[in-house]
Amino acid sequence: MNNKLRGGVFGVLIACITFFSVTAHALSVIRDTEVESVLTSYARKIFKAAGLNPNNAQIVLVNDHSINAFVAGGQTIFVHTGLITQSQSVDDIIFVLSHETGHIVGGHIVRGIGAYGQARTTALISTILGGLVAVAGRPDAGMAVMMGGSTSAAGMFTAYRQTEESSADRTAVDIMQKTHYSMRGFENTMKLIQAQERISSSDDFSYLRTHPLTRERVNALERFTKNAPAVRDDIRYDLIRAKLIGFLYEPTQTRSLYQNDTSMAGDYARAIAMYRAHQFEQAQQMIDNLIRQKNDYPYFYELKGQFYLETGNLNNAIDNYQKAINLMPNAPLMRLSMAQALLERRQAGDAVRAIPHLKAVLAKENDTPLAWQLLATAYDLTGKQVEIPYAMAEYYRTIGDLKSAKRMAKKALNTLPKNTPAYQHAQDIMALPEEKGSYY
């Protein structure tokens, strides 16, 4: 991906978000329609088996090479790319998603916050008592009390978390049985985690402190894995794994991994690797071969559209994005790429064509900065100057620049017709407190 933030099947948007658990972490989030769609389809099946509403399942893809997934409140599962690229089968992914669903079913996030609060209280009381002992003339004893309290608090929280993890494992087993996936996926995942444990120090690998040791988890579930059936084949899993490897690994590494793989997934990974190695003609030929094998798969056309867009062949980019959209009309990121290609080409009527695509994106994903920015451009090119301030106000809102957002919203209120949704949203932006950047 280049510095112009072009649209494409992978990395259409890369943004940093912040979530809060025991400590705050900034996450690099990758957007990709194909990967999100496949993982969400798995999550919905799992949610149904767990007695949850399948429509509430949401997946966020985190650009991180480690083998991990987590929930941070609500019913959203965050999945590290490393979990997918280093997995061996779809059953591996299903177990991990089932385990995280176990945390949701058990209400572990809310209860975990309470446990953390209790642990913090224990540490605070010990610190106060230690301070009083020190003031009384025993600084050595005071330090011992404070250190003991901290250790006790850490142990309390760790023990609580390990109990949660064991509970989530048990829920995952039940889900795997209901959905008929193999517990071999659990075994495969534990082997990956064991390998990760060996190369990670205890200070850097927080998994060790909050999960039961891998061998204990394997022993606890041995009766379910002993005679488990073989893992299943799933072309959707194979394709998303190949795509992530193609885009995240060095091209030479991708070609090495897939050198003897003559499957569709192997061609997919090699096509992306060739493109990233600037072997554009060979990459296009391989994508065309994939389309001949499966001409109703929208993501092949989307990838071909990206290749053309990023190499400046806008006519072919638009043609392929249109084919992808015809097959998958409700994919916002495809429409975002289509709009970007139209606005870059700037032929007569292109800006007019781009506007409905951008509005369709924002109807589903209102906090997409690039869509608001492109919409402002489209309004400018079509002579709709009165609409530009509102679009820019929303753009600034989505990137967290509230000062600029309110400045543009104020302009919008002077130009927009009253009692329209845009006018009302501009008023909402004006009313936003400074520390918040979204109101939808």
Using one digit for the tens of pLDDT, what is the confidence trace for 279-335?
A: 999 999 999 999 999 999 999 999 999 999 999 999 999 999 999 999 999 999 999
Indicate the Cα dihedral angle 119, 123, 129, 133, nearest 10°: 150
* pLDDT for residue 434 is more than 80: no
Is 164:106 a contact under the CB 8 Å cutoff? yes
Arithmetic mean of pLDDT, 82-105: 93
Ramachandran category for residue 400: left, alpha or beta (phi over 0 → left; psi -120 to 50 → alpha): left
Specify which of 2-11, 80-89, 138-147, 213-222 reaches the highest per-range mean pLDDT: 80-89
**CA–CA dist 398, 369 (Å, integer):** 6
Out of 43-57, 109-123, 197-211, 284-298, pick the least confident. 109-123
SS3 52: coil
Is 112:210 a contact under the CB 8 Å cutoff? no
Starting from the edge strand earliest in sequence, which strands make up the sheet with 14-20, in order? 14-20, 24-30, 58-62, 76-80, 69-71
Give me the residue label for tokens 């000062």. 403
* pLDDT for residue 111 is more than 70: no
32-232: CATH architecture: 2-Layer Sandwich (3.30)
Q: What is the pLDDT of residue 437?
A: 45
- Vertex 12 angle, CA 9 and 17, to 5°: 135
* pLDDT for residue 158 is more than 90: no
Instruction: pLDDT band for 3, please (50, 70, 90 cuts).
Output: very low
Tokens for 396, please give them. Answer: 């600034």
Percent of the chain with pLDDT over 70: 72
Out of 7-21, 27-41, 72-86, 328-342, pick the least confident. 7-21
**CA–CA dist 395, 358 (Å, integer):** 13
Instruction: pLDDT band for 66, please (50, 70, 90 cuts).
Output: confident
**CA–CA dist 92, 318 (Å, integer):** 37
Greater model confidence, 130 or 185:
185
Specify which of 159-173, 184-198, 227-241, 415-429 reaches the highest per-range mean pLDDT: 415-429
Q: What is the pLDDT of residue 369?
A: 95
Instruction: pLDDT band for 152, please (50, 70, 90 cuts).
Output: very low
Is 326:357 a contact under the CB 8 Å cutoff? no
* pLDDT for residue 150 is more than 50: no
Ramachandran category for residue 16: left, alpha or beta (phi over 0 → left; psi -120 to 50 → alpha): beta
Tokens for 276, please give them. Answer: 């990233």
Letter string b/e over residues 107-141, b meaning 16 or more CB atoms within 10 A of that residue's CB = ebbeebeebbeebeebbeebbeebeebbeeeeeee
What's the mean pLDDT when you consider all of the chain?
A: 80
Arithmetic mean of pLDDT, 25-54: 92
Q: What is the pLDDT of residue 288?
A: 97
pTM: 0.78
* pLDDT for residue 192 is more than 80: no
Instruction: pLDDT band for 224, please (50, 70, 90 cuts).
Output: low
DSSP run (H or E) holding 150: helix 139-179
Tokens for 388, please give them. Answer: 């530009």
User: How far apart, in Å, are the Cα atoms of 120 and each of 115, 127, 206, 329?
Assistant: 9, 10, 18, 50
Instruction: pLDDT band for 429, please (50, 70, 90 cuts).
Output: very high
Specify which of 11-20, 69-78, 185-194, 369-378 reaches the highest per-range mean pLDDT: 369-378
Q: What is the pLDDT of residue 227?
A: 73
DSSP string, 363-383: HH-TT-HHHHHHHHHHHHHTT
**CA–CA dist 345, 305 (Å, integer):** 14
Q: What is the pLDDT of residue 220?
A: 53
